[in-house]
Copies of this chain bind each other. A is one copy, B any other.
Amino acid sequence: MRGVLELTPELEGVQTAVASALGRVERRFAEQLRSDLPVVNELCGHVERYRGKMLRPVLVLLAGLAAHPEASSSEPGEILGEEHVTMAAVCEMVHMATLVHDDVLDEADVRRRGRTLNTLRGNEAAVMLGDYLIASAYHLCSQMRSQDHALAIAGVSRVLCAGELLQIDHREDWSLDEATYFEILERKTASLIAVACERGALISGADTRVAGALGAYGRQLGVAFQIQDDLLDLTGEEGLVGKSVGKDIEKGKLTLPLILHLADAEASERAACIRLIEGASRAGGGEERANLADRLLASGALARAHHIALERVAAARASLDAIAPTPARSVLERMADAAVRRSL
Interface residues of A (CB under 8 A from B): 35, 37, 39-40, 43, 97, 101, 104-105, 122-125, 127-132, 134-136, 138-139, 142-143, 147, 150-151, 153-155, 157-158, 160-162, 164-166, 168-169
Contacts and interface: CB of A to CB of B under 8 A. Distances in A.
Contacts of A134: 131, 134-135, 157
Given A123-B123, A142-B147, A142-B154, A101 B162 contact: no
Contacts of A155: 139
A152 B101 CA distance: 24
29 contacts: A35-B162, A37-B165, A37-B166, A39-B166, A101-B127, A101-B128, A101-B131, A104-B104, A104-B124, A105-B127, A123-B123, A125-B168, A127-B127, A127-B130, A128-B165, A130-B131, A131-B131, A131-B164, A132-B162, A134-B134, A138-B138, A138-B150, A138-B157, A139-B151, A139-B155, A139-B157, A139-B158, A142-B151, A142-B154
Given A142-B147, A147-B142, A151-B142, A165 B132 contact: yes
A43 B164 CA distance: 13
A135 B150 contact: no
Q: Which of A124, A150, A169 has the most CB of B within 10 A?
A: A124
A125 B171 CA distance: 11
Contacts of A104: 104, 123-124, 127
Number of copies: 2
Q: Which of A104, A130, A147, A151 has the most CB of B within 10 A?
A: A147
B128 A164 contact: yes
A97 B134 CA distance: 12
B150 A142 contact: yes
A138 B124 contact: no
Contacts of A122: 168
Contacts of A132: 158, 161-162, 165
Contacts of A129: 161, 165
